[in-house]
Amino acid sequence: MSNEAELLPGTLDLLILKAVSLGPLHGYGVLLRIGQISGQALLIEQGALYPALFRLVRQGVLKASWGRSENNRRAKFYELTSTGRKRLREETDGWNRLAAAIASALAAQPQEI
């Protein structure tokens, strides 16, 4: 359990965008992909994925279409729109800045002050 981390609020959307940016996915696929790219470190409540997907579709950053999954089941596939790609770039930059700032803050030593 020690290598699992709770998601920070607001980061689920970013992870979904990233996962989908690597190729169109259905909902369960998004879940697997996030597990795969995060090294199984992030814990996601499975059902919570869907309200997030619906929200992103409504915001126009994802588009959805019905298709066939690899095990030949009907499934709804999500892919990024151009707004979505832009949003992903912006949020990635934002996240990196935030992470760098926090990392630098946490690395501060008494003599540096």
Partner 1 sequence: MKFLAHLRSLAARFFHRSQTEDEIEEELRSHIQHRVEDLERSGLDHDKAERGARIEFGSTERFKEECREELGGNFIDSVIQDFRFSFRTLRKSPAFFAVAVVTLALGIGATVAAFSVVNAVLLRPYGFSQPERLLWIYSQRPDNARTNFSLPEYCDYRDQNTSFDGLGAIASYNVSLSDLGQTERVQGVRMSANAFEILGLRPLLGRALSAADDRNGAPAVVMISYGLWSGRYGKDQAIVGRSVNLNGESREIVGVLPSSFALPNLDTDIVVPLQPDSDPRRNARNSVNFLRMVGRLKTQVTAPQAHAELDSIRQNLHRQFPDTYTGKVGITIVPLTEEIVTNVRAVLLTIFCAAGAVFLIGCTNLAGISLSRAGARQRELAVRTALGATRSQLTRLLLVESFILAMIGGSLGLLLEIWGQAFLLRLVPTDLPRIATFSIDSKVFIFAFFVTLVATLVCGLAPAWLLSRSDLRDALVSGGRGSSGGGMQSRLRTWLVAGQIALALVLLANAGLLFRSFARLSSEQPGFDSSNLLTVRFSLPGVTYPDRAAIVQFYEKLQPQLAKLPGIGSVALVSILPLAPKSISFIHFTRPDRPPGKPEDTPSTNYRIVGPDYFRAMGIPLFAGRYFTEEDDGNRPPVAIVSTVLANNHFPDRSPIGQRVLIDDTDGNPRPVEIVGVVGPVKQTNLETPAKADIYLPLRQIPKDGVPFLRNSTYWVLKTSPGAPAIEPLLRAAIRNVDANVAVGDVRPMTEVMAAALASRRFSLLLVGSFAGAALFLAAAGLYAVISYGIQQRTQEIGVRLALGATHGSILGMIFKEGSLLLGTGIAAGLAIALVVAKFVANQMYGVSEHDPFSFLVVSLLLAAISLLACWIAARRALNVDPVVALRAE
CB of 62 to partner 1, least distance (A): 10
- 7 counts as binding partner 1 under rule CB under 8 A: no
Number of residues engaging partner 1 in binding (CB under 8 A): 23
Closest by Cα among 30, 40, 38, 45 to 75: 30
Residue 75 DSSP SS3: strand
Q: Which is nearer to partner 1, 37 or 57 (CB)?
A: 57
Q: Is 57 exposed, middle or buried (0-12, 13-18, 19+ CB in 10 A)?
A: middle
Site for partner 1 in 18-77 (CB under 8 A): 26-28, 31, 45-48, 50-51, 54-55, 57-60, 69, 71, 73-76
Beta carbon nearer to partner 1, 28 or 89:
28
Query: Which residue is it, tokens 């949003």?
Result: 87
Name which of 5 and 50 has its Cβ closer to partner 1: 50
Residue 66 three-state SS: strand
User: Which letter does DSSP use for residue 34 in this model?
Assistant: H
CA distance 25 to 36: 13
Which stretches of the chain bind partner 1, using CB under 8 A? Answer: 26-28, 31, 45-48, 50-51, 54-55, 57-60, 69, 71, 73-76, 83
